Amino acid sequence: MAATQEQILEGLAEIVNEIAGIPAEDVALDKSFTDDLDVDSLSMVEVVVAAEERFDVKIPDDDVKNLKTVGDAVDYILKHQG
Amino acid sequence: MTAKIRPSKGAPYARILGVGGYRPTRVVPNEEILKHIDSSDEWIRSRSGIATRHWAGPDETVAQMSVEAGGKAIADAGLTPEQIGAVVISTVSHFKQTPAVATEIAHLLGTGKPAAFDISAGCAGFGYGLTLARGMVTDGSAEYVLVIGVERLSDLTDLEDRATAFLFGDGAGAVVVGPSQEPAIGPTVWGSEGDKSDTITQTVPWGEYRIGDLSKLPLDSKGNVKFPAITQEGQSVFRWAVYEMAKVAQQALDEAGISADELDAFIPHQANMRIIDSMIKTLKLPEHVTVARDVETTGNTSAASIPLAMERLLATGQAKSGDTALVIGFGAGLVYAATVVTLP
């Protein structure tokens, strides 16, 4: 069953917490991965790969650079999840 | 009439008998890199784990660095140069197309008349050379083969590119491969993905300089024509290196019949500490496995990085002769090669 926006946000928050050590409650839709959450470009790849596995979605390299905020990522997953 | 041809006959197996390295005398700290780019020591360290690298001086040519490393490897193997039957050089930074630099290196080392040639396999060059050497020893083409990975990547570095200026280093790493009664170099898992050739590449082909169309040549901040440099798509390389190469590394273990628990050392291509750390996590390597982290003080030396890291692990006592090590190289091509070896 496809995940809801809320479930995706919760899942992403757990992933970001595990990879970058950011408190899960700081991961909100309007937060920028690089500027607000200190997730650098390489950690972002790890976040993306973990999200792909968790939400059964493919996020190609070319699309990764468009995912600036947590909201961008949630929307992308919502649209593309299997 | 088809006459009966006597077959070539080699050793039952091959092993690495000796290793040697050469690092240029000049150590370049991050502070020096920062003269050309807007960045910080902290940024460079956090993105790459690199603190210093060695850059070659005018006399530290590809040939000279190779002779130093090769001579050490031959001595470490307990051999003399005349016993070397083939010399394989892997490099992407020797700027004289012909003849192969391998012939000059063989001559300077005082070998007799070995087979000598260069290969171009980027950061997988050591694994490619090792695989050729294993084949030569076991098919009887050469009893002892000298394999050298050597680079002067400082010559292919864009000092004004903040994404790559700090990455590369110079140096040479060599091994001698010879006969063995026991298997000591496992099956090689290797390959290429030419559809990703733009992921890591030289900025401009040499031919463009001959044509001389300035609009197609890179210019520096002062408007001068720049030498070509190595450029890469960082995120794509990182994803491929960590996740795809972890599968290749696992396959090399499986094909060698070695479990991660039996492994003593992991010597990946020294591309970037972040790649190494994530690879270990993805591979789920046990704590007891010694991991080569030479990139911190040597930078990324492409084909030279694995033998240089191997030499350092052995020289510092972090690994010892007879240990079982997983080696994996990966880079521009994209190309890769992984195998399990017994350390010399």
pLDDT in tens, chain B (344 residues): 899 999 999 999 999 999 999 999 999 999 999 999 999 999 999 999 999 999 999 999 999 999 999 999 999 999 999 999 999 999 999 999 999 999 999 999 999 999 999 999 999 999 999 999 999 999 999 999 999 999 999 999 999 999 999 999 999 999 999 999 999 999 999 999 999 999 999 999 999 998 878 888 988 888 889 999 999 999 999 999 999 999 999 999 999 999 999 999 999 999 999 999 999 999 999 999 999 999 999 999 999 999 999 999 999 999 999 999 999 999 999 999 999 999 99
Same domain, B193 and B135: no
- Tell me which chain B residues have a C-beta less than 8 angstroms from the C-beta of A40: 46-47
Q: Which of B234, B242, B278 faces A41 most closely, judged by CB atoms?
A: B234
**How many whole angstroms separate alpha carbon B241 and alpha carbon B252?**
15
Tally of CB atoms within 10 A around B247: 13
Q: What are the pLDDT digits (tens) for B120-164? A: 999 999 999 999 999 999 999 999 999 999 999 999 999 999 999
- Clarify whether residues B174 and B255 are in a common domain: no
ipTM over 0.85: yes
Is the residue at B31 inside a domain?
yes
Which chain A residues have a beta carbon less than 8 Å from that of B245?
none
pLDDT at B32: 96
Residues B157 and B239 in one domain: no
Rounded Cα gap, residues B41 and B44, in angstroms: 5
| B269 catalytically annotated | yes
CB B325 within 8 A of CB B264: yes
Number of domains in chain B: 2
Q: Please, are residues A34 and A72 in contact by the beta-carbon 8 Å criterion?
A: no
Note the Cα B243 to chain centre separation in Å: 20
B4 is a domain residue: no
Q: Which of A56, A78, A18 is nearest to A67 (CA)?
A: A78
Rounded-to-integer distance, Cα B88 and Cα B135, Å = 12
Distance CA B234, CA B232 (A): 6
Which domain range does residue B145 map to? 13-180
Same structural domain, B173 and B272: no
CB B330 within 8 A of CB B3: no
The domains found in chain A, sorted by start residue, are: 5-80 (1.10.1200.10)
- Taking the Cβ of residue B320 and every Cβ of chain A, the question of whether any pair is shorter than 8 Å is answered with no
- Judge: B238–A45 Cβ closer than 8 Å, yes or no: yes
Position B264 in a domain: yes
Taking CA–CA distances from A64, the nearest residue in chain B reads B235
Contact A65 B235 (CB under 8 A): yes
Rounded Cα gap, residues A34 and A69, in angstroms: 8
Q: What is the DSSP string of B67-123?
A: HHHHHHHHHHTT--GGG--EEEEE-S-----SS-HHHHHHHHHT--S-EEEEE--GG
Interface test with B, best of A42, A53, A62 (most B CBs within 10 A): A42
**pTM to 2 decimals?**
0.94
CB B301 within 8 A of CB B170: yes
The reply to whether B300 belongs to the active site is yes
Helix (H, G, I), strand (E, B) or coil at A50: helix
Cα B67 off chain centre by: 16
Q: Which chain A residues have a beta carbon less than 8 Å from that of B235? A: 41-42, 44-45, 61, 64-65
Shared-domain flag, residues B99 and B168 = yes
CA distance B252 to B248: 6
Looking at the structure, tell me whether residues B194 and B141 fall in a common domain: no
Residues B45 and B142 in one domain: yes
The set of residues, in sequence order, having a beta carbon less than 8 Å from that of B343 and lying 6+ positions away, is B16, B264, B265, B310, B313, B314, B319, B320, B321, B322, B323, B324, B325
- Assign residue B64 the CATH number of its domain: 3.40.47.10
pLDDT digits (tens, 9 = 90+) for B266-312: 999 999 999 999 999 999 999 999 999 999 999 999 999 999 999 99
- Asked if B73 and B176 count as a contact pair (C-beta separation under 8 A), the reply is yes
Question: Does residue B58 lie in a domain region?
Answer: yes
Specify the DSSP element, H or E, that contains B233. none
